Structure 1
Amino acid sequence: MSLDVTPKPGSAPLGAMLRAQAGMELKLMLRNGEQVLLTLVIPLLLLVMGTRADQVVDLGPGRTIDIIAPGVLALAVLSTSFTSLAISTGFDRRYGVLKRLGASPLPRSVLLLGKVGAVAAVEAIQLAVLVPTALALGWEPHGGAVAWIWAVLLVIAGTVAFGALGLLIAGTLRAEATLAVANLVYVLLLVGGGLMVPLSRYPEGARQVMEIVPSGALGEGLREVFAGGSGLVPLLVLLGWAAVAGLATIRSFKWE
């Protein structure tokens, strides 16, 4: 019996390329100590230290851990899907990595989906660490399975919205400017973006603005669903940002 050794040139199936690209992106993210600090260590520290946040900031009625925990989950999404993604993509673009990969058989859509897949994997790790820690600290989420379904939808929508904004910055600004802007936005949203402090504690005008800002919508949405409420309005806000930012990214992203 003879073996068929005829060469069969061609690209790998899209699924195989996507898995390989997502795996490589994930390894690169986890090897970067600064990104690990940003995406996991800082939210974890804020979760542990946040149990005494009411001694510094008026968080309003309710148990402190029940207010802080959803905000930390929202912060984890922001740090990974916006800040980390924007910085890594910006420097990939600067050093010509995107240009070279864009010229390979790897479709550009698969390249971007690989980055999204890596972000999703990191977020899964974050939630696997942060949620049990919050529960151990006394967090008591309400709403049962419905609340968790809402939470998953909000996290997905928030990831897409922040990811599109991160790619928009990385695809239009220089790497150094992307680094500065991404870190500045992270700090500003952490301090006053509606992540850690309920929007009810903001002045009326500021509260109305924060309700339509992605960070405010995600943070307040998670607090609402884990208090037994609905996350429909925040979800619609995040989907709107995802659509607008995604369209802007498609039209303006520069690969080199």
Structure 2
Amino acid sequence: MTTPSATALAPRPRAPRPQAGLRRVLVLGGHRGLMEVLVFFRGTETVVFSLLFPVFALIIFSSMFRGDITPGVSYSDYLVPGVIATGLMVTGFQTLAISIAIERDRGALKRLAATPMPRSSYFIGKIVMVLVTSLVETGVLLAVSMIVYGTHLPRGSAGWITFAWVGLLGTTACTLCGIALSSVPRSGRAAPAVVAPFAFVLQFISGAALVFTNLPSWLQWIASVFPLKWMCQGLRSVLLPASFASHEAAGSWQLGWVAVVLSAWVVVGLLLCTMTFRWTKTRNGG
């Protein structure tokens, strides 16, 4: 009769529990997010462009265009929701796409991919950074608009809930699209030239800087395909009087369509990320 060997008697290592793996991803993602936030606020140029540029745009456009759009709604009142939506788009889409393209060009993504850190933690860190900076930016814009232009805050709990889900869905959609677009520039130097025109054009055709219903119908149709138009419309529903709904293109706030289109862009952005994101540059520099 043979005796079992020491190896056979040794306890078998337990497979890691899924909860432990998820907890590790989230913890490392939180640490990565904290680092991303610190790096963001240490970059003077990035902070000025992402946080203060919307404030400058609000002041400049309000000074250029005076008067009321409709009785009780001035141009500055109309502009505030659009500027807030634009700020969310710039932070989640433009700034993120450019920064990731630069990190890839410098080889930072390649080095991160070779570390034990789960790759999903990197994206969690980026999302944390976008959410924190978006909250700060929105708070600054609301404060400036209240103090300078007398803008009213969302009305009641329902108004704040709508403000929150429109902002969250819109920011998520812009963030995912920004991550996907980061793979398009061939180099970090080319990233601003590739990414910025998208954001710039959308600002002027989505009702963020100009009254949406004053635009040609074909531009309105194009803008309706993209998230920014619906973000602006959703935020106007809680920052402007309820009577202004009749002056929208469809004669109502269309909050159901706001939710549908923004949710669809979240799905589209996620699919684009999984299909296009690269951790390293291609041989031809792209």
Normalising by the smaller structure, the TM-score range is 0.7 to 0.9
TM-score when scaled to structure 1?
Answer: 0.87
Letter in 2 for 1:185: F
Alignment match, 2:179 = 167
CA deviation map 1:170-210 (0-9, x unaligned): 12432233221222222222333322223222222222322
1:238 aligned to which of 259, 262, 268? 262
* Alpha-carbon shift at residue 143 of structure 1 (Å): 3.7
Alignment match, 1:112 = 123
Change (3 A) 1:78 1:18: same
Determine the C-alpha separation between the residues in 2 that align with 1:230 and 1:132. Answer: 27
Determine the C-alpha separation between the residues in 2 that align with 1:31 and 1:213. Answer: 32
Q: 2:189 aligns to what SS in structure 1? A: helix
Letter in 2 for 1:63: S
Determine the C-alpha separation between the residues in 1 that align with 2:179 and 2:168. Answer: 16
Task: Kindly report the root-mean-square deviation, in angstroms, between the aligned alpha carbons of the 2 structures.
Answer: 2.2
Alignment match, 1:182 = 195
* Alpha-carbon shift at residue 129 of structure 1 (Å): 1.1
Bigger shift: 107-116 or 41-50?
A: 41-50
Is residue 2:152 matched to residue 1:140? yes
Alignment match, 2:272 = 248
Tell whether the 8 Å contact from 1:18 to 1:110 is kept in structure 2 after alignment: yes
Is residue 2:34 matched to residue 1:19? no
Bigger shift: 218-227 or 92-101?
A: 218-227
Tell whether the 8 Å contact from 1:171 to 1:252 is kept in structure 2 after alignment: yes
Bigger shift: 193-202 or 66-75?
A: 193-202
Is residue 2:30 matched to residue 1:42? no
Is residue 2:44 matched to residue 1:33? yes
Tell whether the 8 Å contact from 2:205 to 2:215 is kept in structure 1 after alignment: no
1:87 aligned to which of 92, 98, 107? 98
Change (3 A) 1:142 1:33: closer
Q: 1:176 aligns to what SS in structure 2? A: coil
* Alpha-carbon shift at residue 149 of structure 1 (Å): 1.1
Alignment match, 2:219 = 206
Letter in 2 for 1:220: Q
TM-score when scaled to structure 2?
Answer: 0.79
Is residue 2:228 matched to residue 1:215? yes
Q: Identity percentage over the alignment? A: 25
Letter in 2 for 1:183: A
Give unmatched runs, 5+ long, in structure 1: 1-10
* Alpha-carbon shift at residue 141 of structure 1 (Å): 4.3
Letter in 1 for 2:55: L
Q: 1:13 aligns to what SS in structure 2? A: helix
Change (3 A) 1:211 1:60: farther
Tell whether the 8 Å contact from 1:217 to 1:237 is kept in structure 2 after alignment: yes
1:193 aligned to which of 199, 206, 220? 206
Tell whether the 8 Å contact from 1:151 to 1:222 is kept in structure 2 after alignment: yes
Give unmatched runs, 5+ long, in structure 2: 1-20, 243-252, 281-286
Letter in 2 for 1:244: V
* Alpha-carbon shift at residue 59 of structure 1 (Å): 7.6
Determine the C-alpha separation between the residues in 1 that align with 2:146 and 2:171. Answer: 23
State the number of aligned residues. 245
* Alpha-carbon shift at residue 144 of structure 1 (Å): 2.6
Q: Which runs of 4+ in 1 moved over 6 A?
A: none
Tell whether the 8 Å contact from 2:205 to 2:212 is kept in structure 1 after alignment: no
* Alpha-carbon shift at residue 126 of structure 1 (Å): 0.7
